[in-house]
Amino acid sequence: MSISTLVKIALKALFRNRMRTFLSVLGIVIGVAAVITMVAMGEGSKKSIKEQMTSMGTNAIIIMPNRDRRGGVQMESTESLEEEDVVELREKATYINAVSPMITVSGQAIVGNNNSPTQLSGVSSDYLKIRNYEIEDGVMFDDDADRMAKVCVIGQSVIKNLFPEGNPIGKTIRYKSIPLKVIGTLKLKGSGDFGQDQDDVIFTPYQTVMKRFSATTNIRQIYCNSIGEGYAEKATEEIMGILKERRSWTRPTDPFRVFTQEEMITMVTSTSDMLSLVLTAIAGISLLVGGIGIMNIMYVSVTERTKEIGLRMAIGARGRDILLQFLIESIMISLLGGFVGIALGVAASEIIKNALNWPMIVSATSVMVSFGVCFATGVFFGWYPARKASRLDPIEALRFE
């Protein structure tokens, strides 16, 4: 019996029981759509994270005190970063081209009747280069001329919150009762690596924060960037060597932790990958349930059509023809569900992307894999019922009531 004839027989059988066929297809549709949507969400999240981490700065490196465990409790290193470390790195490091300390304080920024809970960051002028900020209006403060000066550079969100009616250049912001003169504004940057507003910033010379706001000589973090791609590892070794040499460090543990941009991206995306895998596995369960539904329907179909199978065998149909007939029915149900599920998954991804502004990427690979899984599902779950049908005894099948 030809394949075209078997396909026609399968189509007639499927249309004869439209509701049963619809419910079987529906199980596959839901499974495939769920898998494609979850994969699109995972891929979109990974791409978004990488883009946002890259916006942090090209080849960025962060230095901070190390953490170790003592008695099962995680504790910060007793060593602190200091201004002399920044000077040493600028003078001696050959694999980094910009260095900036960062000291932050929290509080309210006030201008007249307007106020905003904005973090104040003490940095050097190199920080803009490291984090890819650009001056839109005015100037950036000078590390030498503006040491401990009460001046600041602000982001667009601060401008919106504190200066809704005019140009902020030359005006004063009060932060913890200390006036800071606005000498520059930053270009719009957007959300950051963990969703924070990178435009809600006030930058002032780090010496100003150390002396006027926090009364400390310790620096929480030092930001650097390497001279180019592929130099992160050498820059890390060099930085650690300079910091240890300055302290004559001989202990086996490192006093500081150096994070490269590659490490940060890997750390964040690994968490995203795990979450995507779990969500996809959960969605895959619905596809498995759909396959079991196909097997159940095919068993019912074989039982209902036992006499028909016996009649076909009696007039010359071979066991292979019966096997292919039911297997084709199973594959057609699965592939139909696959086509509709792929379309629904792509549509759902677009709706989520546009309605919720969630990053979604439907890759060609996920579509092809979903289609292949549908075909495999039809073969796997249809094989046993089809095999059972092909092994029926014609005489017994004709007697079946």
The Cα–Cα gap between 238 and 77 comes to: 20
CB 163 within 8 A of CB 109: no
Q: Tell which wins on pLDDT, 267 or 15.
A: 15
Three-class DSSP category at 397: helix
Mean pLDDT, residues 295-319: 76
Straight-line distance from the first to the last Cα atom of the chain, in angstroms, rounded to the nearest whole number: 27
Sign of torsion, CA 106 107 110 114?
positive
DSSP 81-118: EEHHHHHHHHHH-SSEEEEEEEEEE--EEEETTEEEE-
- Domain coordinates in residue numbering, the chain: 3-52+267-399, 80-254
Three-class DSSP category at 10: helix
Ramachandran class of 138: left when φ > 0, alpha when ψ lies in -120 to 50, beta otherwise = left
Instruction: For residue range 196-225, list pLDDT tens digits in order.
Output: 678 999 999 999 999 899 878 888 899 998
What are the tokens at 361?
A: 């990427």
Helices 83-92 and 232-247, axial angle in degrees (round to 10)? 130
The Cα–Cα gap between 18 and 33 comes to: 22
Q: What is the dihedral of CA 257, 261, 262, 264, to 10 degrees?
A: 70
pLDDT value at position 31?
Answer: 84
pLDDT value at position 397?
Answer: 59
pLDDT value at position 395?
Answer: 66
pLDDT value at position 88?
Answer: 92
Q: Locate tokens 């759509």: which residue?
A: 33
Ramachandran class of 195: left when φ > 0, alpha when ψ lies in -120 to 50, beta otherwise = left
Whether the pLDDT of residue 139 is over 90: the answer is yes
pLDDT value at position 201?
Answer: 93
Q: Please name every residue paired with 130 in a beta bridge, in sequence order, or none if there are none.
A: none
Rg of the chain in Å (alpha carbons): 33
Q: What is the mean pLDDT of the chain?
A: 82
The Cα–Cα gap between 307 and 122 comes to: 86
**Nearest Cα to Cα of residue 58 among 300, 225, 241:** 225
Instruction: For residue range 345-359, list pLDDT tens digits in order.
Output: 899 888 988 888 778
Q: What is the dihedral of CA 154, 160, 161, 164, to 10 degrees?
A: 120
What are the tokens at 396?
A: 């017994």
**Nearest Cα to Cα of residue 255 among 270, 269, 267, 239:** 239
What are the tokens at 200?
A: 């809600």
Q: Tell which wins on pLDDT, 240 or 388.
A: 240
Mean pLDDT, residues 159-173: 91
pLDDT value at position 10?
Answer: 73
Whether the pLDDT of residue 122 is over 90: the answer is yes
CB 258 within 8 A of CB 240: yes
Question: How far is CA 42 from its chain centroid?
Answer: 6
Q: Please name every residue paired with 123 in a beta bridge, in sequence order, or none if there are none.
A: 205
Instruction: For residue range 38-87, list pLDDT tens digits in order.
Output: 888 888 877 777 676 666 655 788 998 886 555 444 555 567 888 899 99
